[in-house]
Chain A
Protein backbone atom coordinates (compact mmCIF):
# COMPACT_ATOMS: atom_id res chain seq x y z
CA UNK A 1 0.00 0.00 0.00
CA UNK A 2 2.99 2.24 -0.08
CA UNK A 3 2.95 2.59 -3.80
CA UNK A 4 -0.31 4.59 -4.12
CA UNK A 5 0.81 7.06 -1.48
CA UNK A 6 4.10 7.60 -3.22
CA UNK A 7 2.40 8.08 -6.54
CA UNK A 8 -0.08 10.41 -4.91
CA UNK A 9 2.79 12.53 -3.68
CA UNK A 10 4.35 12.67 -7.10
CA UNK A 11 0.91 13.48 -8.50
CA UNK A 12 0.71 16.38 -6.14
CA UNK A 13 4.00 17.66 -7.43
CA UNK A 14 2.86 17.42 -11.01
CA UNK A 15 -0.46 18.91 -9.96
CA UNK A 16 1.16 22.05 -8.57
CA UNK A 17 3.43 22.53 -11.53
CA UNK A 18 0.60 21.83 -13.95
CA UNK A 19 -1.68 24.33 -12.30
CA UNK A 20 0.79 27.18 -12.36
CA UNK A 21 1.56 26.44 -15.98
CA UNK A 22 -2.15 26.16 -16.85
CA UNK A 23 -2.74 29.50 -15.15
CA UNK A 24 0.08 30.97 -17.23
CA UNK A 25 -1.38 29.44 -20.39
CA UNK A 26 -4.80 30.92 -19.69
CA UNK A 27 -3.41 34.37 -18.92
CA UNK A 28 -1.16 34.39 -21.99
CA UNK A 29 -4.05 33.25 -24.18
CA UNK A 30 -6.31 35.96 -22.74
CA UNK A 31 -3.67 38.63 -23.40
CA UNK A 32 -3.23 37.30 -26.91
CA UNK A 33 -6.98 37.49 -27.45
CA UNK A 34 -7.07 41.10 -26.26
CA UNK A 35 -4.19 42.11 -28.53
CA UNK A 36 -5.66 40.22 -31.46
CA UNK A 37 -9.17 41.61 -31.16
CA UNK A 38 -7.96 45.19 -31.11
CA UNK A 39 -5.14 44.63 -33.59
CA UNK A 40 -7.44 43.19 -36.21
CA UNK A 41 -9.06 46.60 -36.48
CA UNK A 42 -6.25 48.99 -35.70
CA UNK A 43 -2.74 47.68 -36.27
CA UNK A 44 -1.35 44.61 -37.92
CA UNK A 45 1.65 44.34 -35.60
CA UNK A 46 -0.56 44.04 -32.55
CA UNK A 47 -2.53 41.28 -34.25
CA UNK A 48 0.68 39.39 -35.02
CA UNK A 49 1.80 39.78 -31.41
CA UNK A 50 -1.53 38.43 -30.21
CA UNK A 51 -1.29 35.47 -32.58
CA UNK A 52 2.22 34.73 -31.30
CA UNK A 53 0.98 34.82 -27.71
CA UNK A 54 -1.89 32.46 -28.48
CA UNK A 55 0.52 30.14 -30.29
CA UNK A 56 2.83 30.14 -27.27
CA UNK A 57 -0.11 29.26 -25.00
CA UNK A 58 -1.21 26.46 -27.31
CA UNK A 59 2.35 25.14 -27.54
CA UNK A 60 2.73 25.03 -23.76
CA UNK A 61 -0.63 23.29 -23.41
CA UNK A 62 0.26 20.74 -26.10
CA UNK A 63 3.60 20.12 -24.42
CA UNK A 64 1.88 19.50 -21.11
CA UNK A 65 -0.60 17.08 -22.65
CA UNK A 66 2.17 15.17 -24.35
CA UNK A 67 2.57 13.93 -27.86
CA UNK A 68 1.56 10.33 -27.71
CA UNK A 69 0.42 9.08 -31.08
CA UNK A 70 -3.08 8.45 -29.73
CA UNK A 71 -3.35 12.02 -28.61
CA UNK A 72 -2.23 13.63 -31.84
CA UNK A 73 -5.75 13.45 -33.23
CA UNK A 74 -7.11 14.89 -30.01
CA UNK A 75 -4.56 17.70 -30.09
CA UNK A 76 -5.29 18.38 -33.74
CA UNK A 77 -9.04 18.56 -33.27
CA UNK A 78 -8.71 20.69 -30.15
CA UNK A 79 -6.34 23.06 -31.94
CA UNK A 80 -8.76 23.28 -34.86
CA UNK A 81 -11.68 23.98 -32.54
CA UNK A 82 -9.70 26.65 -30.69
CA UNK A 83 -8.58 28.27 -33.93
CA UNK A 84 -12.14 28.37 -35.21
CA UNK A 85 -13.38 29.85 -31.97
CA UNK A 86 -10.64 32.52 -32.07
CA UNK A 87 -11.76 33.42 -35.58
CA UNK A 88 -15.30 33.55 -34.21
CA UNK A 89 -14.20 35.81 -31.37
CA UNK A 90 -11.96 38.35 -33.05
CA UNK A 91 -13.24 38.77 -36.59
CA UNK A 92 -15.69 41.58 -37.11
CA UNK A 93 -17.46 40.58 -40.29
CA UNK A 94 -20.44 38.40 -39.25
CA UNK A 95 -19.92 36.05 -42.18
CA UNK A 96 -16.37 35.28 -41.04
CA UNK A 97 -17.65 34.68 -37.51
CA UNK A 98 -20.21 32.19 -38.80
CA UNK A 99 -17.51 30.34 -40.75
CA UNK A 100 -15.29 30.17 -37.65
CA UNK A 101 -18.25 28.79 -35.72
CA UNK A 102 -18.76 26.12 -38.38
CA UNK A 103 -15.09 25.10 -38.14
CA UNK A 104 -15.38 24.87 -34.36
CA UNK A 105 -18.47 22.69 -34.57
CA UNK A 106 -16.89 20.37 -37.12
CA UNK A 107 -13.78 19.97 -34.95
CA UNK A 108 -16.03 19.23 -31.98
CA UNK A 109 -17.70 16.55 -34.08
CA UNK A 110 -14.22 15.10 -34.61
CA UNK A 111 -13.77 14.98 -30.84
CA UNK A 112 -17.13 13.18 -30.63
CA UNK A 113 -15.80 10.60 -33.06
CA UNK A 114 -12.74 10.14 -30.88
CA UNK A 115 -15.04 9.47 -27.93
CA UNK A 116 -16.82 6.74 -29.93
CA UNK A 117 -20.05 8.65 -30.46
CA UNK A 118 -20.45 8.53 -34.25
CA UNK A 119 -24.20 9.04 -34.31
CA UNK A 120 -23.98 12.15 -32.18
CA UNK A 121 -21.17 13.50 -34.32
CA UNK A 122 -23.37 13.15 -37.40
CA UNK A 123 -26.40 14.61 -35.62
CA UNK A 124 -24.38 17.54 -34.35
CA UNK A 125 -23.03 18.18 -37.84
CA UNK A 126 -26.54 18.16 -39.26
CA UNK A 127 -28.21 20.23 -36.56
CA UNK A 128 -25.48 22.73 -35.81
CA UNK A 129 -24.10 23.11 -39.31
CA UNK A 130 -27.65 23.39 -40.64
CA UNK A 131 -28.54 25.93 -37.99
CA UNK A 132 -25.31 27.75 -38.75
CA UNK A 133 -26.18 27.99 -42.41
CA UNK A 134 -29.65 29.26 -41.56
CA UNK A 135 -28.21 31.88 -39.21
CA UNK A 136 -25.67 32.73 -41.88
CA UNK A 137 -28.54 33.46 -44.25
CA UNK A 138 -30.19 35.58 -41.58
CA UNK A 139 -26.98 37.55 -41.14
CA UNK A 140 -26.82 38.12 -44.87
CA UNK A 141 -30.46 39.18 -44.92
CA UNK A 142 -30.25 41.52 -41.98
CA UNK A 143 -26.84 43.09 -42.21
CA UNK A 144 -26.65 43.35 -45.94
CA UNK A 145 -24.46 46.39 -46.18
CA UNK A 146 -21.08 47.14 -47.60
CA UNK A 147 -19.62 48.73 -44.49
CA UNK A 148 -19.45 47.12 -41.09
CA UNK A 149 -22.00 48.16 -38.52
CA UNK A 150 -20.89 50.05 -35.45
CA UNK A 151 -22.02 47.34 -33.10
CA UNK A 152 -19.88 44.80 -34.91
CA UNK A 153 -16.72 46.86 -34.67
CA UNK A 154 -16.90 47.98 -31.07
CA UNK A 155 -17.01 45.09 -28.66
CA UNK A 156 -18.52 45.66 -25.26
CA UNK A 157 -15.87 45.70 -22.49
CA UNK A 158 -13.46 43.10 -23.86
CA UNK A 159 -10.94 43.43 -21.01
CA UNK A 160 -13.43 42.67 -18.26
CA UNK A 161 -14.99 39.84 -20.23
CA UNK A 162 -11.58 38.30 -20.99
CA UNK A 163 -10.71 38.51 -17.28
CA UNK A 164 -13.98 36.80 -16.33
CA UNK A 165 -13.50 34.05 -18.90
CA UNK A 166 -9.85 33.55 -17.89
CA UNK A 167 -10.77 33.23 -14.22
CA UNK A 168 -13.52 30.76 -15.05
CA UNK A 169 -11.26 28.70 -17.28
CA UNK A 170 -8.51 28.62 -14.65
CA UNK A 171 -10.96 27.46 -12.00
CA UNK A 172 -12.40 24.82 -14.30
CA UNK A 173 -8.99 23.45 -15.25
CA UNK A 174 -7.93 23.46 -11.60
CA UNK A 175 -11.07 21.57 -10.62
CA UNK A 176 -10.66 19.05 -13.43
CA UNK A 177 -7.02 18.44 -12.57
CA UNK A 178 -7.79 17.60 -8.97
CA UNK A 179 -6.76 14.00 -8.29
CA UNK A 180 -10.20 12.92 -7.07
CA UNK A 181 -12.24 15.04 -9.43
CA UNK A 182 -13.39 12.21 -11.64
CA UNK A 183 -15.57 9.54 -10.02
CA UNK A 184 -14.72 5.95 -10.61
CA UNK A 185 -16.58 4.38 -13.52
CA UNK A 186 -19.76 2.79 -12.37
CA UNK A 187 -22.48 0.95 -14.23
CA UNK A 188 -26.03 2.15 -13.88
CA UNK A 189 -28.45 -0.36 -12.50
CA UNK A 190 -31.49 1.85 -12.85
CA UNK A 191 -31.19 2.11 -16.63
CA UNK A 192 -30.65 -1.44 -17.81
CA UNK A 193 -30.68 -0.72 -21.52
CA UNK A 194 -28.09 2.04 -21.24
CA UNK A 195 -25.34 -0.26 -20.05
CA UNK A 196 -23.02 -1.16 -22.82
CA UNK A 197 -20.55 -3.94 -22.90
CA UNK A 198 -19.39 -3.82 -26.50
CA UNK A 199 -18.62 -0.17 -26.95
CA UNK A 200 -16.57 -0.38 -30.08
CA UNK A 201 -18.97 -2.43 -32.11
CA UNK A 202 -20.20 -0.81 -35.27
CA UNK A 203 -23.78 -1.31 -34.13
CA UNK A 204 -23.38 1.01 -31.16
CA UNK A 205 -25.86 3.38 -32.76
CA UNK A 206 -28.47 0.65 -32.51
CA UNK A 207 -27.66 0.27 -28.84
CA UNK A 208 -27.95 4.00 -28.38
CA UNK A 209 -31.37 3.90 -30.00
CA UNK A 210 -32.42 1.03 -27.79
CA UNK A 211 -31.33 2.98 -24.74
CA UNK A 212 -33.09 6.11 -25.93
CA UNK A 213 -36.40 4.45 -26.72
CA UNK A 214 -36.53 2.10 -23.77
CA UNK A 215 -34.97 3.82 -20.78
CA UNK A 216 -35.87 7.34 -21.77
CA UNK A 217 -39.17 6.88 -23.58
CA UNK A 218 -41.05 9.45 -21.51
CA UNK A 219 -38.30 11.98 -22.03
CA UNK A 220 -38.46 11.42 -25.77
CA UNK A 221 -42.20 12.09 -25.75
CA UNK A 222 -41.64 15.18 -23.64
CA UNK A 223 -38.93 16.44 -25.99
CA UNK A 224 -41.25 15.91 -28.94
CA UNK A 225 -43.95 17.93 -27.22
CA UNK A 226 -41.41 20.64 -26.48
CA UNK A 227 -40.40 20.76 -30.14
CA UNK A 228 -44.05 21.13 -31.16
CA UNK A 229 -44.58 23.94 -28.65
CA UNK A 230 -41.39 25.65 -29.82
CA UNK A 231 -42.46 25.51 -33.46
CA UNK A 232 -45.87 26.98 -32.63
CA UNK A 233 -44.27 29.63 -30.45
CA UNK A 234 -41.73 30.59 -33.09
CA UNK A 235 -44.45 31.00 -35.69
CA UNK A 236 -46.55 33.05 -33.26
CA UNK A 237 -43.66 35.31 -32.30
CA UNK A 238 -42.34 35.89 -35.78
CA UNK A 239 -45.76 36.51 -37.27
CA UNK A 240 -46.54 39.97 -38.46
CA UNK A 241 -49.57 41.37 -36.72
CA UNK A 242 -52.51 42.03 -39.05
CA UNK A 243 -52.33 45.79 -38.45
CA UNK A 244 -48.92 45.76 -40.02
CA UNK A 245 -47.18 47.58 -37.22
CA UNK A 246 -45.40 44.44 -36.01
Chain B
Protein backbone atom coordinates (compact mmCIF):
# COMPACT_ATOMS: atom_id res chain seq x y z
CA UNK B 1 0.00 0.00 0.00
CA UNK B 2 1.45 3.25 -1.08
CA UNK B 3 1.53 6.41 0.94
CA UNK B 4 -1.74 8.20 0.42
CA UNK B 5 -2.02 11.80 -0.61
CA UNK B 6 -4.54 12.35 2.16
CA UNK B 7 -2.00 11.59 4.83
CA UNK B 8 0.41 14.17 3.52
CA UNK B 9 -2.44 16.67 3.25
CA UNK B 10 -3.39 16.03 6.88
CA UNK B 11 0.24 16.51 7.93
CA UNK B 12 0.23 19.82 6.06
CA UNK B 13 -3.02 20.79 7.77
CA UNK B 14 -1.48 20.02 11.17
CA UNK B 15 1.53 22.21 10.35
CA UNK B 16 -0.72 25.02 9.15
CA UNK B 17 -2.90 24.90 12.27
CA UNK B 18 0.13 24.82 14.54
CA UNK B 19 1.45 27.88 12.76
CA UNK B 20 -1.91 29.58 13.15
CA UNK B 21 -1.99 28.74 16.85
CA UNK B 22 1.51 30.09 17.29
CA UNK B 23 0.64 33.25 15.41
CA UNK B 24 -2.42 33.83 17.57
CA UNK B 25 -0.85 33.08 20.94
CA UNK B 26 2.69 34.35 20.67
CA UNK B 27 3.41 37.97 21.52
CA UNK B 28 7.01 38.28 20.49
CA UNK B 29 7.21 39.61 16.96
CA UNK B 30 10.01 37.28 15.93
CA UNK B 31 8.11 34.20 17.09
CA UNK B 32 4.98 35.37 15.26
CA UNK B 33 7.13 35.63 12.16
CA UNK B 34 8.41 32.08 12.71
CA UNK B 35 4.79 30.93 12.99
CA UNK B 36 4.11 32.43 9.59
CA UNK B 37 7.02 30.45 8.18
CA UNK B 38 5.52 27.31 9.73
CA UNK B 39 2.22 27.98 7.97
CA UNK B 40 4.11 28.41 4.70
CA UNK B 41 5.82 25.06 5.29
CA UNK B 42 2.41 23.39 5.69
CA UNK B 43 1.18 24.92 2.45
CA UNK B 44 4.36 23.82 0.67
CA UNK B 45 3.72 20.29 1.88
CA UNK B 46 0.29 20.46 0.28
CA UNK B 47 1.78 21.59 -3.01
CA UNK B 48 4.32 18.77 -2.98
CA UNK B 49 1.59 16.24 -2.25
CA UNK B 50 -0.50 17.45 -5.15
CA UNK B 51 2.54 17.53 -7.41
CA UNK B 52 3.00 13.85 -6.75
CA UNK B 53 -0.71 13.20 -6.98
CA UNK B 54 -1.03 14.71 -10.44
CA UNK B 55 2.38 13.39 -11.45
CA UNK B 56 3.74 16.61 -12.85
CA UNK B 57 6.07 19.32 -11.68
CA UNK B 58 3.73 22.26 -11.29
CA UNK B 59 3.42 21.87 -7.53
CA UNK B 60 7.16 21.72 -7.04
CA UNK B 61 7.66 24.80 -9.19
CA UNK B 62 5.04 26.54 -7.10
CA UNK B 63 6.93 25.59 -3.94
CA UNK B 64 10.06 27.18 -5.40
CA UNK B 65 8.10 30.42 -5.76
CA UNK B 66 6.74 30.03 -2.24
CA UNK B 67 10.32 29.78 -1.00
CA UNK B 68 11.18 32.93 -2.96
CA UNK B 69 8.30 34.85 -1.43
CA UNK B 70 9.26 33.50 2.01
CA UNK B 71 12.79 34.84 1.54
CA UNK B 72 11.43 38.27 0.54
CA UNK B 73 9.08 38.21 3.49
CA UNK B 74 11.91 37.30 5.85
CA UNK B 75 13.99 40.23 4.66
CA UNK B 76 11.16 42.76 4.89
CA UNK B 77 9.82 41.44 8.19
CA UNK B 78 13.20 41.48 9.89
CA UNK B 79 13.83 45.02 8.66
CA UNK B 80 10.44 46.08 10.01
CA UNK B 81 11.08 44.38 13.35
CA UNK B 82 14.41 46.16 13.63
CA UNK B 83 12.77 49.49 12.83
CA UNK B 84 10.02 48.88 15.39
CA UNK B 85 12.45 47.71 18.02
CA UNK B 86 14.38 50.94 17.65
CA UNK B 87 11.32 53.01 18.53
CA UNK B 88 10.15 51.14 21.60
CA UNK B 89 12.77 48.87 23.07
CA UNK B 90 10.55 45.80 23.15
CA UNK B 91 9.48 42.98 20.87
CA UNK B 92 5.97 42.87 22.33
CA UNK B 93 3.31 43.14 19.66
CA UNK B 94 0.91 44.69 22.17
CA UNK B 95 2.98 47.81 22.43
CA UNK B 96 1.84 48.51 18.87
CA UNK B 97 -1.86 48.03 19.42
CA UNK B 98 -2.63 51.69 19.18
CA UNK B 99 -0.96 53.10 16.12
CA UNK B 100 -2.39 56.58 16.44
CA UNK B 101 -2.07 57.90 19.95
CA UNK B 102 0.53 57.37 22.59
CA UNK B 103 -0.74 54.79 25.05
CA UNK B 104 -1.70 56.42 28.35
CA UNK B 105 0.08 55.33 31.45
CA UNK B 106 -3.07 54.07 33.13
CA UNK B 107 -3.85 51.52 30.41
CA UNK B 108 -0.44 49.98 30.56
CA UNK B 109 -0.59 49.70 34.33
CA UNK B 110 -3.98 48.02 34.04
CA UNK B 111 -2.62 45.52 31.54
CA UNK B 112 0.27 44.68 33.88
CA UNK B 113 2.87 45.49 31.33
CA UNK B 114 6.29 46.74 32.02
CA UNK B 115 6.45 50.47 31.47
CA UNK B 116 8.99 51.63 28.99
CA UNK B 117 11.00 54.80 29.07
CA UNK B 118 10.92 56.96 26.04
CA UNK B 119 11.86 60.62 25.63
CA UNK B 120 8.65 61.40 23.76
CA UNK B 121 6.56 60.18 26.64
CA UNK B 122 7.64 62.75 29.25
CA UNK B 123 4.51 64.55 30.30
CA UNK B 124 4.74 68.28 31.10
CA UNK B 125 4.72 69.27 34.74
CA UNK B 126 3.46 72.53 36.22
CA UNK B 127 6.07 75.10 36.99
CA UNK B 128 5.99 76.22 40.64
CA UNK B 129 3.98 79.44 40.93
CA UNK B 130 3.86 82.14 43.54
CA UNK B 131 6.56 83.87 45.51
CA UNK B 132 9.48 82.01 46.92
CA UNK B 133 9.44 82.83 50.65
CA UNK B 134 13.16 82.25 51.08
CA UNK B 135 14.15 84.71 48.35
CA UNK B 136 11.54 87.42 48.32
CA UNK B 137 10.15 89.05 51.45
CA UNK B 138 6.78 87.87 52.57
CA UNK B 139 3.86 90.21 51.97
CA UNK B 140 2.71 92.27 54.89
CA UNK B 141 -0.87 91.15 55.26
CA UNK B 142 -0.61 87.33 55.43
CA UNK B 143 -2.96 86.81 52.54
CA UNK B 144 -3.70 83.21 51.74
CA UNK B 145 -2.48 83.47 48.15
CA UNK B 146 1.16 83.78 48.89
CA UNK B 147 1.61 81.13 51.51
CA UNK B 148 -1.15 78.69 50.83
CA UNK B 149 1.25 76.00 49.67
CA UNK B 150 3.15 76.06 52.90
CA UNK B 151 1.46 73.92 55.45
CA UNK B 152 2.91 75.29 58.74
CA UNK B 153 2.28 78.84 57.58
CA UNK B 154 -1.38 78.22 57.01
CA UNK B 155 -1.55 76.50 60.35
CA UNK B 156 -0.08 79.56 61.99
CA UNK B 157 -2.44 81.80 60.05
CA UNK B 158 -5.41 79.77 61.18
CA UNK B 159 -4.28 79.95 64.78
CA UNK B 160 -3.79 83.71 64.63
CA UNK B 161 -7.21 84.18 63.12
CA UNK B 162 -8.67 82.05 65.84
Which residues of A are interface residues toward B (Cβ below 8 A)?
33, 37, 65-66, 68, 70-71, 74, 78, 81-82, 85-86, 88-89, 94, 97-98, 101, 104-105, 108, 111-112, 114-117, 119-120, 123-124, 127-128, 131-132, 134-135, 138-139, 142-143, 149-152, 154-158, 160-162, 164-166, 168-169, 172-173, 176-177, 181-182, 185-188, 191, 194-196, 199, 207-208, 211-212, 215-216, 219, 223, 226-227, 229-231, 233-235, 237-238, 240, 246
- Stretch with Cβ within 8 A of A (4 or more), from B2-10, B127-135, B150-158: B2-10
B15 touches A215 (CB 8 A): no
Q: List 25 A-B contacts (CB under 8 A).
A: A71-B3, A71-B7, A82-B18, A89-B21, A112-B45, A117-B48, A117-B52, A120-B63, A123-B64, A128-B41, A134-B78, A150-B113, A156-B24, A156-B25, A165-B17, A165-B21, A169-B17, A176-B13, A185-B54, A186-B54, A187-B55, A195-B55, A199-B55, A227-B68, A227-B72
A70 to chain B, nearest CB (A): 6
Is B121 engaged at the interface, CB distance under 8 Å to the other chain?
A: no
B94 x A151 contact (CB < 8 A): yes
Interface of B is mostly: helix
The answer on a CB contact under 8 Å between A233 and B60 is no
Taking a contact as CB atoms under 8 Å apart, the answer to whether B82 and A238 are in contact is yes
The minimal Cβ–Cβ distance linking A62 to chain B, given in whole angstroms, is 11
